[in-house]
Structure 1
């Protein structure tokens, strides 16, 4: 692919920065990092970071550190240091801060998302509407997560999978399952309710139901789905060790007519919306503990309704404080699905489907301009050893 006029001009001036993308184990985070990098127009080098097994679910304290990184399985992090690092997530925030310290403070950090701590040490935080944050000099606010569909990948997958899809009754309804995460409950009871509603939705359109699980879908739910599969339904079980071409995700994006997605799966919801396809959202309830249930039973707290209420991240204390009238200070776990419904890009599962739109508008270019301005304000290269 040829260079843009801006990139050619920057190369002539010697101002094209060295850019590293920190790539972790979360596909949604990686997709946003790559999309923002693409929009800058600069060449980038990906650095794959693998965390130690004990840190795959545990969350390290945000600080300049590689102590949670499996260095033997990760790409080398060594000089010459980058002028710019783009990353997402707590684990990679620690790596980005370490790189900034290693470069003598010259490496600039762009974080997709909002770290809980040390926010002043990040040069730019790219924050979607499900984060609650005040505007600031190092904050770039936008509406939906920065995700762009890989049209070429969809076309290739559609061509490869079309013969297998040809035997399915049309229209195809794709049910894409996520899993429990950060305060949202997805247990067997929720899975049963979801599958019943999805079958009813597919029956109204008269086509086949194609069910896919994800990395987060709990094993008991997967096993139950395998037992509950009905004639005419297709179930694909996610396997992290399987070759990518065996995953029908991109083929479904190209060949399915309707989609049902759980609210924990921000990436899948936004990707379907950006395609302008028919999208129904299944709202997961907050993961209530015994204290909340007792207070609700006594009438001291009202239950949260995910179609209507914000669901604060941070556990039962944050949810209780919100219901007592105090503001949210972290993430709103139901903000993105509510926003998609408000904008007419989706409906709640069970409600009348909305007509497919032209797709969600794309804010990535505006955010990329903030990144380019950040580097242009201090174009000197990162300090290298020696």
Structure 2
């Protein structure tokens, strides 16, 4: 395929994790996607992902895109309706396990820890993202210019928060802060810290108080998000164990990762952590320097390559998920 596919991304409104993964794949294909952020009303929201597409979104079924990337429970009904169109229609790809029959789509990507399988399913330990080596180098230079007085080397600290599976409150923030202060003093490093939306301002206050005597900088929402600069500029990472995305993104760099345990957990998180440890990308925090060397993960490029292959295959058949290229037909390449 010599030209980038015109791409429609369908994601639930406000779910940046879903959007980032889809947009990252689109960008790896050279596409600038149109993004449709959907918010379903009852009863359609109650029925998703198994129910039909909300009627008010039906006009999107006739999209003339070459490729549709969909992620998230609310996005699945519309993507499935597009996949059921008669040929010619777009190639329809579900990014993340769709919680429905993967045969409803032409291609499905899912994390290995989701234990999803099928002839049109591809899996990987980590998730797609928007990271590139050049982008991280530029972001790192910007962050160094932003923090000229913070001594190097830096350790990036990526803090999640309370979720359905984990708890992060004042006690957990205090314990993390104390451990980071000891770690920074022991290894003579500065800490560059970014909390997430789930961390909570009160917990960030607790963490910052515990680091009063430690060279550090915490992003409190002022200015651009420094996350990419931290990935590019830090020599190692401490990441709370609740976030598959943050640990996975850190592993794109090939730099060592220390995971900080939190109360709670689920079996699928355990499988993810075990796979990261087995790969050599992650160790559990024990206060020692995380010396490690491992092949970095570039899931985005792998998913994009699989999609590109499907787009290049000869169309045929009349239903998604049966054969490679089944049920869709690309429009002629644009000049």
TM-score, structure 2 as length reference = 0.78
Aligned to 2:93: 110
Assess if the C-alpha contact under 8 Å between 1:88 and 1:113 holds in 2.
yes
SS in 2 for 1:126: strand
Aligned to 1:35: 24
The match for 2:235 among 236, 251, 257 is 257
Q: Measure how far apart 1:373 and its partner are.
A: 4.5
SS in 2 for 1:130: helix
Q: Distance in 2 between matches of 1:356 and 1:373?
A: 34
Q: How many residues align?
A: 313
Structure 1 unpaired stretches of 5+: 1-5, 9-15, 288-310, 313-331
Kindly report which structure 2 residues correspond to 1:116-265, keeping only aligned pairs within 5 A, or say none: 116-133=99-116, 135-147=117-129, 149-231=131-213, 232-237=215-220, 239=221, 246-265=224-243
Aligned to 2:256: 278
1:38-89 CA-to-partner distances (Å, cap 9, x unmatched) read 44x464532141537999xx976213334898x9xxxx94744334311222
SS in 2 for 1:225: helix
Structure 2 unpaired stretches of 5+: 314-324
Assess if the C-alpha contact under 8 Å between 2:24 and 2:131 holds in 1.
no
Q: Measure how far apart 1:130 and its partner are.
A: 1.8
Q: Measure how far apart 1:213 and its partner are.
A: 0.9
Pair 158,354 (structure 1): closer, same or farther in 2 beyond 3 Å: closer
Assess if the C-alpha contact under 8 Å between 1:175 and 1:259 holds in 2.
yes
Q: Distance in 2 between matches of 1:17 and 1:165?
A: 40
The match for 1:21 among 1, 9, 15 is 9
SS in 2 for 1:246: coil
**Once structures 1 and 2 are overlaid, which stretch shifts more, 105-114 or 272-281?**
105-114
Q: Measure how far apart 1:198 and its partner are.
A: 1.8
SS in 2 for 1:334: helix
Q: Distance in 2 between matches of 1:54 and 1:253?
A: 40
Assess if the C-alpha contact under 8 Å between 1:25 and 1:50 holds in 2.
no
SS in 1 for 2:269: coil
Q: Distance in 1 between matches of 2:261 and 2:41?
A: 31
Aligned to 2:321: none
Q: Measure how far apart 1:280 and its partner are.
A: 0.9
SS in 2 for 1:110: strand
SS in 2 for 1:47: strand
Q: Distance in 2 between matches of 1:205 and 1:22?
A: 45
1:152-198 CA-to-partner distances (Å, cap 9, x unmatched) read 43333333332343312332222111112232222222222222222
Q: Distance in 2 between matches of 1:258 and 1:190?
A: 21
Aligned: 1:380 with 2:329: yes
Assess if the C-alpha contact under 8 Å between 1:90 and 1:115 holds in 2.
yes
Aligned: 1:61 with 2:48: yes
Pair 113,206 (structure 1): closer, same or farther in 2 beyond 3 Å: same
Pair 271,78 (structure 1): closer, same or farther in 2 beyond 3 Å: same
1:98-154 CA-to-partner distances (Å, cap 9, x unmatched) read 4445x4584442111112234432222211222122x31221122322335233433
C-alpha RMSD over aligned residues:
3.4
SS in 1 for 2:2: helix
